[in-house]
Structure 1
Amino acid sequence: MSTESLTAAFSAAARPEITTDPGRSVGVLLCHGFTGSPASMRPWAEALAERGYGVEVPLLPGHGTTWQEMNATGWADWHAAVEQAFARVRAAHDVVVVAGLSMGGALALRMTIDHPDDVAGVVLVNPGINSTNKQLLALPVLKWLLPSMPAIGNDIKKAGADEHGYDRTPLKALSSMLDGWKQLRADLARVRVPVQVFKSVDDHVLDPSSVQLITQHIPTAEVTLLHDSFHVATIDNDAQQIFDDSAAFIRSVTGV
């Protein structure tokens, strides 16, 4: 599928998975964030496809429909979907780079830990693996009393940008994500490949602790600060910097 046909097939109203031509020597797996959709990754996917990379952005279970449906899914479901996408990308390409936004960054790191010999590098944009929000301590009980709470959606500085996410946060799903984060944090030291991290200076969704833990436990992690974007930086004012710098990173870790 060409970039033009990919663009035509992927409208703002319909939020399917994004897949470019298989068979290229370098494949890139992009993972969207919690309650988000591939819409937040579309421009990045197209930018990489234009550079000749094969790209896939899976739609995670429970996303792109309703928050109620998402509340019936959890970390195991999202992890399984990314595993399947990773297998497809790995089978079609000589070398693979994984990348993700927010929770998608956690899933990308999970792939790197689970497949240490099959990932050449990792790109993370405002990755989420931890939170210092004390309100989350009540979540194990609260999730049985309230199905959802208002979400911090479209944390984007650029006017008119839309990630097509939910306006409610499903609490059972949120609790499951936090459980997945806990195991991931315990395994961070197993990441040995180069890691490129983009961190927005102004992020109203995640506190700095996630990036701090990543740099503390992964010696290969290098951080680039984004000064003109909020949380969903992949469709914000610094998006082009992410596209250009990640493409350069991919070239450097794959040798292609």
Structure 2
Amino acid sequence: MFTPDPVRRPREQVEKQLRDAIVTGVFKRGDRLPSEATLAQEFQVARSTVREALQSLAADGLVTKTPGVGGGSFVQNIDHESLRNVITGSLETILKIGALTIDEVTAVRRTLEIPAARLAAENRTDEQAAEMRALITRQNELVDDPERGDGDPELFDIGPSIYNLIGEATGNRLLGSFVSAVSRVAIGVYLQELRAGEAEKARALTSVLVEAIAAGDADAAEATMTSLLTIDETTSAPTS
């Protein structure tokens, strides 16, 4: 099935041919790839070279490695959701090691999320609008519950869930993947820094945003998203 390619470096030829086989459907979701030993023999390379290629494919979300008896490298689902997961994981890592600043992420959010809010208002389905409103209702219940509080884990998950729906509602799966991934990482950072008054204002604006999208009011959705991002920018700005 696979043949050596003398033009490429060993790891590159293994990775490229495996990637092509996955993308073109030679290997489908859930399929187990040949063993490292088999691939090494077919490509005429060392097993360590095959292992490096498989690690690269795993980092890109194309395969997952399962240890133990019956384990191996299995093809992952390849769609916009897997893209979102890869972006989320990579962005979290890059922020943690300081290779990007939160200000840079916020600038990208403005580029993505303001037009996304408009598109969501124009293209959202009734089901998506209902889901967003249900999340706002649950958010209000948690805030009003004296036994919960701003640090409640469920409350932290609501914001990213709303942005995930906004991304889906745009009707553009690629844009939706980026909006969902970037906002999921960034919102977690902002929520840790927001003061009580800012958190309350952000929640109120999120409710207004959802209602604008549900009502199909693109102008209001765009303006409200801009206001929300302004709060985030203020929160992430360094203090003197």
TM-score (norm 1): 0.26
Higher strand fraction (1 or 2): 1
TM-score (norm 2): 0.27
Pick the structure with greater CA Rg.
2
